Structure 1
Amino acid sequence: MITIYHNPRCSKSRAAVDLITNSLNVASEPVEIVEYLKHPLSSAQLKTLNAMLGCPVREMLRNTESVYEELDLDRTDLSDDQLYEAIEKHPILMQRPVVVRNGRAIIGRPPENVESLFV
């Protein structure tokens, strides 16, 4: 199963979906596309996703969104749990797309990053 956390309004996210469905998924694995703005992830789901990404939670954040500044999320005293909670409450903060396959995940910015899940 391939899961793509997708924002259809994002060109990078659309490009990653196209790359997977039209080129990389040669084995025709099932693909689940989750529009995470309509179906936000819980803090627990975000923690699991972050563990698969293997990166600091801050790398999951889009620091270019206005809500990032409004919530003062660049403060270094914020805990990971506080950052997960911010993403849960404001899913626009999550990097996109995020692709999960075989227990591993990658942020598809640029879209070609997802190729590493298929080698």
Structure 2
Amino acid sequence: MISIYHNPRCKKSREGLTILEDSGQDFETLKYLDDTPSPEDLKIIIKKMGIKPIELVRKQEQIWKEKFKSKDLSDSEIIEALHDFPKLIERPIVINGEKAIIGRPPEDIKGIL
């Protein structure tokens, strides 16, 4: 099953959702701001993406600048920050089986379908 971690207020996330809807494939929409992924789920997503946790962080968010930017954080601490402040998670995230991507630009989602 394809999943999209979605924020309805985000234009790129809405564009990603439209790509999935237009694909005709079954998928589930996870509103990650309402139902935050656990640290373990975040580790799995990061592993499927083949990235470092810092690459999943929205570094321009005010909360990142105020609380974390000047700190030398471990991967585990970054994952905890993403869990505690889900607004920091890049979006949209699309997962299809053992692959996952950040849909930026949204057209990248087509490559995982």
Shorter-chain TM-score range: over 0.9
Gaps of 5+ in 2: none
**Contact 1:73-1:83 within 8 A present in 2 as well:** no
Per the alignment, in what secondary structure is the counterpart of residue 110 of structure 2?
A: helix
1:101 matched residue in structure 2: 96
Deviation at 1:74, TM superposition (A): 4.9
Q: CA deviation at 1:58?
A: 0.7
- Give distance in 2, aligned partners of 1:99 and 1:63: 20
1:88 aligns with 2:88: no
Q: Secondary structure at the match of 2:28?
A: strand
User: Shift in Å at residue 73 of structure 1?
Assistant: 3.2
- Identical-residue share of aligned pairs (%): 37
Could you say if the C-alpha distance between residues 117 and 34 of structure 1 is closer, same or farther in structure 2, counting changes exceeding 3 Å? same
Q: CA deviation at 1:89?
A: 0.4
Report the Cα distance in structure 2 between the residues aligned to 1:5 and 1:101, rounded to whole angstroms. Answer: 12
Over residues 52-79 of structure 1, what are the superposed CA-to-partner deviations in whole Å (9 max), with x where a residue is unaligned?
Answer: 010111110000110001112353x210
Q: TM-score if structure 1 supplies the norm length?
A: 0.90
In structure 1, stretches of 5+ residues that fail to align are none
Deviations 1:6-39 (A, max 9, x none): 00000000000101111x34xx3x2110000000
Please tell me whether residue 18 in structure 1 is matched to residue 23 in structure 2. no
Quote the residue 1:2 is aligned against: 2
Where 2:5 maps in the other structure, the secondary structure is strand
**TM-score, normalisation: structure 2:** 0.95
Deviations 1:48-107 (A, max 9, x none): 0000010111110000110001112353x2100000000100000000000000210000
Which secondary structure state, in structure 1, belongs to the residue aligned with residue 30 of structure 2? strand
